[in-house]
Amino acid sequence: MCGIVGVVSNAPVNQLIYDALLLLQHRGQDAAGIVTLLDRKFFMHKAKGMVKDVFRTRNMRALPGSVGLGQVRYPTAGNAYSEEEAQPFYVNAPFGIVLVHNGNLTNAHALRAELFSTDHRHTNTESDSEVLLNVLANELERATRGVQLHTDQLFAAVKSMHKRLRGSYAVVSLISGQGLLAFRDPYGIRPLCLGRNAEGTAMVASESVALEGLGFKFERDIAPGEAVFIDMQGQVHAHQCAEAPTLNPCIFEYVYLARPDSTMDGISVYQARLNLGETLAKRVVSTVPPSDIDVIIPIPESSRPSATQLAHLLGIPYREGFVKNRYVGRTFIMPGQGERKKSVRQKLNAIASEFKGRNVLLVDDSIVRGTTSREIVQMARDAGARKVYLASAAPPVRYPNVYGIDMPTKGELVAHDRTIEEIRALIGCDALIYQDVDAMKRAVMKAAPATAGASKFAGLEASCFDGYYVTGDIDTDAINRMNNNRPRVEETEEDASRLALPNLN
């Protein structure tokens, strides 16, 4: 899950895109980039790092034009260390196209070979997004051969792309001299929405928070399979380009990835997290008697809404026992286990008085590799807690995710092939309570307003919890191939042996 944004205005857009990327920073911390368009010429600046570090004043001055796009990257394919794989990507023909992508292609390997052998196109990085751009270029070239570019050709190109691409993709692209083309995969796995401000500037973005935070009015989500073209005058043309689109948004967006103040496909992320706390409360009481819990403490940041609701329903005091260092980013999306582990300690510090002599129930939104939980449980014990219980607002993450969350190896998942008791022993808590898969799905769907209708959803993409891959073409070979092209980071020996099961006897 990266953050993407595109803008068509009649005033300079560099600052607007920068501000939107800041609002989407939680979706990617690894690299950032902006392209603007002025008189058919693209201006680009991209580099590794957070938005505020990547763009200095001199870089901003070198981004003129009233049309542009940007991205914050969380690598899921290719090389996390490569500056070249920061987005946007550029290709010179046809017309000149730049593109940003959120998601993960599951057939990038086959497409790369096909692009070379059949389409005679060269890609120069390991990024699946560069492959995606070249497929767009190829299909656009084919659709416009011998004719003037018109919206019909743009939509025909997206239609052909849907036939070639597999996996998840929310895309924003700029076509020099023409306008902005945005589209979403036929399963609607990754989010994308559209809005406008009082001056008539149009914006597409991954999350509604980017629109609302900048004074734009949210207009609508882009539908699965739909393409939206915004011409240079700001006029929006939309067309359904997929044959049988269905809406299956990624459930992990609601659990962890998105900001709580965003609404995606009609579902408020905050309300979904409150609901998850509510259903989690039922699981907690069936495992630990509430009278045995003195205090409920969230593991900041993302678990807070679920923890407040849980505490409210159980009638147990809610306390902020961990203080978060706001200058350390999100741990889960950092590349490399060593960095993630170190960051948990740097990021969270316990207030000993909230733990001393108490039975505490710690609440997290999810437990993936178990990095956070293991450190936090130990910190709670070090701070003097008597008993440390742990509850997760999401069920065990047992299967690889191949749609844009970097957790494709089963071996990395603390819950894979382990019983709850084994996981509990590994994490080191006195009781471990997980949400149930169906309860999680119901809790998120319950946050869909009656008017928008739960009926528009075919389901929620929840493969990392239930092992069901909505695109239907994910087997062990596909997962192995993607593993071979994962963002790789050097691991220490200690990291490698980290998940070895301790002797439980």
Task: Out of 74, 183, 252, 318, name the contact with ligand GLN by CB under 6 A.
Answer: 74
**Is 294 known as a binding-site position?**
no
Segment 371-430, which members bind ligand PRP (CB under 6 A)?
371-373
Tokens of 167: 């996996």
Task: Out of 89, 187, 218, 256, name the contact with ligand PRP by CB under 6 A.
Answer: 256
Q: Specify the amino acid at residue 435.
A: Q
CA–CA dist 14, 8 (Å, integer): 11
Give yes or no for residue 369 binding ligand PRP (CB under 6 A).
Answer: yes
CA–CA dist 227, 220 (Å, integer): 13
Give yes or no for residue 206 binding ligand GLN (CB under 6 A).
Answer: no
Long-range contacts of 308-312 (CB under 8 A, 24+ apart): 308/274, 308/277, 309/273, 309/274, 309/275, 309/276, 309/277, 309/278, 309/281, 310/277, 310/278, 310/280, 310/281, 310/284, 310/363, 310/391
Among residues 247, 258, 259, the alpha carbon closest in space to that of 189 is found at 247
Q: Which residues of 61-98 are buried (b: 16+ CB within 10 A; e: fewer)?
A: eebbbbbbbbbbbbbbbbbbbeeebbbbbbbeebbbbb
CA–CA dist 68, 16 (Å, integer): 9
CA–CA dist 357, 361 (Å, integer): 13
**Is 302 known as a binding-site position?**
yes
- Report in angstroms how near the CB of residue 108 gets to ligand GLN at its nearest: 8
Task: Out of 114, 119, 219, 301, name the contact with ligand PRP by CB under 6 A.
Answer: 301
Give yes or no for residue 73 binding ligand GLN (CB under 6 A).
Answer: yes
Give yes or no for residue 294 binding ligand GLN (CB under 6 A).
Answer: no
Which of Mg ion, ligand GLN, ligand PRP, none does residue 178 bind (CB under 5 to 8 Å by kind)? Answer: none
Segment 127-186, which members bind ligand GLN (CB under 6 A)?
127-129
Q: Which stretch binds ligand PRP (CB under 6 A): 95-103, 358-366, 420-428, 462-470?
A: 358-366
Which of ligand GLN, ligand PRP, Mg ion, none does residue 366 bind (CB under 5 to 8 Å by kind)? Answer: ligand PRP
Which of ligand GLN, Mg ion, ligand PRP, none does residue 127 bind (CB under 5 to 8 Å by kind)? Answer: ligand GLN
**Is 365 known as a binding-site position?**
yes
Binding mask 406-445 for ligand GLN (x = CB under 6 A): ----------------------------------------
Q: Tell me 385's DSSP state.
A: -
- Beta carbon nearer to ligand PRP, 184 or 381: 381
CA–CA dist 495, 492 (Å, integer): 5
* Burial grade of 147 (CB within 10 A; 0-12, 13-18, 19 or more): exposed
Residue 2 known to be catalytic: yes
- Binding-site residue set for Mg(2+): 302, 364-365
- Interface residues toward Mg ion, by CB under 5 A: 302
Catalytic residues: 2
- Point out which residues bind ligand GLN (CB under 6 A): 1-2, 73-78, 101-104, 127-129, 404
